[in-house]
Amino acid sequence: MSIVSKRLLSSAAPPLEAAAKKFYGDKVSYGSLSKAQKAFLDRVIRVDQAGELGANYIYFGQYTVLATKYPHLKPVLQHMWDQEIHHHDTFNKLQTQRRVRPSILTPLWKVGAFGIGVSTALIGKEAAMACTVAVETVIGGHYNQQLRILMNQYQDIPVYDEHGKEIAEPDMEIKDSPELTSLKDLISQFRDEELEHLDTAIEHDAEKAVPYMLLTEAIKLVCKGAIWTAERV
């Protein structure tokens, strides 16, 4: 595991409890979220959907240029691309379920991401891998930040027992609603997969790209700008 991904993992949340209602069935219910909490969830889904769409198109671009030229890279790129397609599909479904409007800049994210994938791959396979390092570093950190907020700012939602009485100190298993628990599980799973992509890229000579620092720092800036924008429009 690379130093970057170790650092990102160590600042991450502890593993999350799955199946919040396992022992309690439908006996518990939850108070509604505040306006700010709801707005944050919508923003999470909008920006993550846009980000995964971008990742999907970056790998599409890289695969288009590199897969036939370097047969040994084909399965590596295919595996990462498949995972991005799954991430993208998952957030598409959540977006429909929660009726979150997509980022209005969706066409730009597609063209821009495909362009980044193709252009870095045209510089060389090392530059394509350096692009992956930059993207996954930013995305890993971004997911960690979302997890921290989901863990710290959703603690005040009341939990009610089967008689509708508020439970004063709910157990860990029922503290978070199944919806919140599954979103946190999903984000931490995707975060781990992004960090695997980061490690894969380093194993495949990302650091040999010239000029590595300039390339990765420039792409990180682009990603941060895209995240900032997709959260808002």
Residues in contact with Fe ion by CB under 5 A are: 52, 55, 84, 87, 194, 197
Q: How far is the CB of 70 from Fe ion (least distance, A)?
A: 19
In whole angstroms, what is the distance from residue 218 CA to residue 212 CA? Answer: 10
**CA quadruple 135, 105, 47, 109: dihedral, nearest 10:** -20
Q: How far is the CB of 230 from Fe ion (least distance, A)?
A: 14
In whole angstroms, what is the distance from residue 189 CA to residue 59 CA? Answer: 19
Nearer CB in complex with Fe ion: 20/147: 147
Q: Which two tokens stand for residue 129?
A: 């891998």
Nearer CB in complex with Fe ion: 87/175: 87
Query: Residue of minimal CB distance from Fe ion?
Result: 87
| Amino acid occupying residue 192 | D
Nearer CB in complex with Fe ion: 194/231: 194
CA 17 → CA 33, 107, 161, 184, distances in Å? 20, 37, 20, 9
Which residues make Cβ contacts (< 8 Å) with residue 233, sequence separation at least 6?
103, 104, 105
Nearer CB in complex with Fe ion: 117/170: 117
User: Per the annotation, does 52 bind a ligand?
Assistant: yes
Q: How far is the CB of 65 from Fe ion (least distance, A)?
A: 18
Angle CA 47–49–55, to nearest 5: 100
User: Per the annotation, does 231 bind a ligand?
Assistant: no
- Cβ atoms within 10 Å of 109's Cβ, excluding its own: 21
Q: How far is the CB of 180 from Fe ion (least distance, A)?
A: 21
User: Per the annotation, does 136 bind a ligand?
Assistant: yes
Q: How far is the CB of 17 from Fe ion (least distance, A)?
A: 23
Nearer CB in complex with Fe ion: 84/176: 84
User: Per the annotation, does 194 bind a ligand?
Assistant: yes
Binding residues for Fe cation: 52, 84, 87, 136, 194, 197
